[in-house]
């Protein structure tokens, strides 16, 4: 590819879940929980996950179709307020090719017995290897997975 391009976009997803903020926050904070819901396509898997959920912490997730975790997301956490906010940023790769770089904020608000989540991602999509449309589709699937996860009964000892 000889042409180098960048497309910028802001994605906002606003969803309300039937779970309290501590349970929703725990779903983001726990590596075991995230492996159950944070994949952008039905049937995909997460492999070789490194998880350090703290301010300054770094995460690396490989994901993709079974047997081909070709995508890699690297995340650094810049701000974490338990049960209220997560701010993170990092690049995404398709194998060794950087395809996007983004800054994302997850905001949690108590709404009755549930939680309103506003996810805002500002991204630079590089050389048409990733697109705003595919990112929206991926996050739509991820939020469906989060909803399914939150609908399952809590296990004994699971954070609220």
pLDDT of residue 160: 47
Q: What is the pLDDT of residues 113-128, one digit of tens each?
A: 999 999 999 999 999 9
- Whole-number average pLDDT of the chain: 92
Q: What distance in Å separates the CA atoms of residue 135 and residue 141, rounded to the nearest whole number?
A: 10
Beta strands in the chain (DSSP E): 6-17, 45-50, 58-64, 71-81, 85-94, 97-111, 114-126
> pTM above 0.75?
yes
Indicate the pLDDT class of residue 94, thresholds 50, 70 and 90. very high
Predicted confidence (pLDDT) per residue in 61-92, tens digit? 999 998 899 999 999 999 999 999 999 999 99
Q: What is the pLDDT of residue 101?
A: 98
pLDDT tops 90 at residue 49: no
Helix or strand run (H / E) with residue 28: helix 21-29
Among 40-44, 57-61, 89-93, which is the least confidently predicted range? 40-44
Residue 145 sits at the vertex; the CA angle it makes with 26 and 11, to the nearest 5 degrees, is 90
Buried b (16+ CB within 10 A) or exposed e, 1-26: eeeeeeeebebeeebebebbbbbbbb
């Amino acid at each position: 590819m000889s042409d180098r391009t960048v497309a910028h976009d802001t994605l906002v997803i606003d969803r309300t879940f039937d779970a309290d903020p501590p349970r929703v926050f725990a779903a983001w904070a726990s590596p075991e929980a995230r492996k159950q819901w944070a994949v952008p396509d039905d049937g995909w898997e997460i492999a070789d996950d490194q998880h350090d959920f703290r301010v300054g912490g770094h995460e690396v997730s490989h994901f993709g179709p079974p047997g081909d975790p070709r995508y890699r997301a690297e995340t650094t956490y810049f701000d974490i307020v338990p049960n209220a906010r997560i701010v993170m940023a990092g690049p995404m790769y398709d194998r060794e090719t950087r395809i996007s770089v983004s800054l994302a904020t997850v905001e949690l608000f108590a709404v009755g017995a549930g939680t309103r989540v506003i996810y805002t991602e500002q991204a630079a999509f590089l050389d048409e290897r990733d697109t705003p449309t595919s990112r929206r589709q991926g996050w739509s699937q991820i939020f469906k997975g989060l909803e399914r996860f939150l609908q399952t009964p809590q296990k004994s000892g699971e954070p609220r």
